[in-house]
Amino acid sequence: MEGLILRLADLDEGALGAVRIIAFFDGFVEHRASLEAVLSATAQFAGCEVGLAGGSVPPLAVRAGGGVPSAGDPPDGVARAPVGDDRWVWLARPGQPLAQDRMLLDRLAHAVRALSPRPRLDHPGTGDPALLELVLGAGADDAGRARALRLLGIEPTCPVTVYAVRSPDPAAGAEFLAGLHPWVRAVRIGDVRAVVGREAPADEPTIPTGVQVGRSAPVPASAAQRAWRGARTALRFTGSGLPAGLTTLAGGSALVTEESLGVWRAIAEQVPGERLAASPDVAALRRLGAEPQGPQTLAMLVAVGATASLRQAAAVLYVHHSTLIARLTKAERVLGFSIDTPAGRTRLTAALIIRALCADLDDLPT
């Protein structure tokens, strides 16, 4: 394949140059090269930036000289040629175009069309949801996952972000998806909707009321299974399941990102739920929550863990300082440790977070 790569500047403007361009792209079609390889080699061949845009797949661009394609929209004023399915290839050459640019674009479009996956022919009876489950599941090997991605119209190196979305109201969930990205792939797994979209937007998306979202870090599409695991973990820290006011996790936001979890991600993913639930501190919180004034007691403990002093906690709860101390003394007898110390606050905060995780351990599919 490397022997086919020629600099466009070395080509004749006549028949010999046209033959070489045709041979260049026919070699990719014959060897069933990936779209990434075609775009990368074309950028090196042409000596300028090229790309693929439009349709329901993310736009790809390769800088002059080749390299790994990355997500990127075409510059203004580029030369283009249609591929079909509302897609088109483009070429951005600085200065004056060369005589062979039009033929190069046409043959690139032909190669992309010939090498694009055709799900209905290659995988009859299998729709997008089944393919996406294959991509996100742990049962597929790398080759199978890459094939499923291409059948979905996603190149394995394309940057994606994976979301785990829970919504009791389907309309609210659909509203979130509609405003998420120009393109998404989604499938319901259990009570959670798995969503694969383009790179996360610079501005935080609007979360409709009642919708909870865990978001992965951006990854290549080939790593979507790992990102799905990170998004599910982040989802466990969202909403009312996490005590509001804990500054360590932004107060149980409706949107929690994988990157924001820090060490809590390792704890949530690697420590078995049974061991977390068996912690004496978590068991003590469950006993306190089961008492007649349990919700008020837990709210008090959250406020103590999230503020710098007992007086601040009392102000947040709108109770007198002495009333808070009396309630706290009673709670400390059940917990078995003093809360009004730096070590005690850290221990309390950890116990509250783990209690929230334990309450959600059985809700997500594995």
Domain ranges of the chain: 2-116, 159-270, 273-360
- Long-range interactions of 169-174: CB distance < 8 A, separation 24+: 169/208, 169/210, 169/211, 172/208, 172/209, 172/210, 172/211, 173/208, 173/211
Domain 273-360 part of CATH 1.20.120: no
Alpha-carbon distance values, 50 to 37, 109, 234, 262, 290 (Å): 12, 11, 37, 38, 63
User: Which residue matches tokens 């439009």?
Assistant: 54
What digits encode the pLDDT tens for the residues 83-113? 876 788 899 888 888 888 888 888 898 888 8
Average pLDDT, the chain: 78
User: Which residue matches tokens 């002093």?
Assistant: 309
- Stated pTM of the model: 0.56
Bigger pLDDT: 323 vs 116? 323
Alpha carbon distance 73, 78 (integer Å): 11
What digits encode the pLDDT tens for the residues 238-293? 754 444 444 333 344 688 888 888 887 888 778 877 888 888 998 898 899 888 88
What digits encode the pLDDT tens for the residues 162-206? 999 988 777 777 777 767 765 678 888 888 888 888 766 666 777
